[in-house]
Amino acid sequence: MSTVTTVYQVSGMSCAHCENAISEEVSKLDGVSAVKAVASAGEVTVTSAAPLDDEAVREAVDEAGYDLVGRA
């Protein structure tokens, strides 16, 4: 089974709580198997079964209280 890994730039993350909030929301998306948020880099790496809809990722990040800047 192949997977797709996409790195997104997210603004507003500053701590482990931020990383956890974003990881929790993004991991709810269909097909997502792993999420790794790194506040110091402002990046969220998402592994999924298929390419994700950028708008769905944006909504999940927004729900967590942060802003998706775009793909890294």
Q: Does domain 4-67 have CATH number 3.30.70.100?
A: yes
Residue 11 pLDDT exceeds 90? yes
Q: Give the pLDDT score at 2.
A: 87
pLDDT digits (tens, 9 = 90+) for 21-57: 999 999 999 999 999 999 999 999 999 999 999 999 9
Q: Give the pLDDT score at 1.
A: 65
* Average pLDDT taken over every residue of the chain: 96
Q: How far is CA 4 from the centre of its chain?
A: 13
Half-sphere exposure of 50 (CA within 13 A, CB side): 4
What percentage of the chain carries pLDDT values higher than 70? 99
* Structure-block tokens of residue 23: 């990881």
Domain boundaries, the chain: 4-67
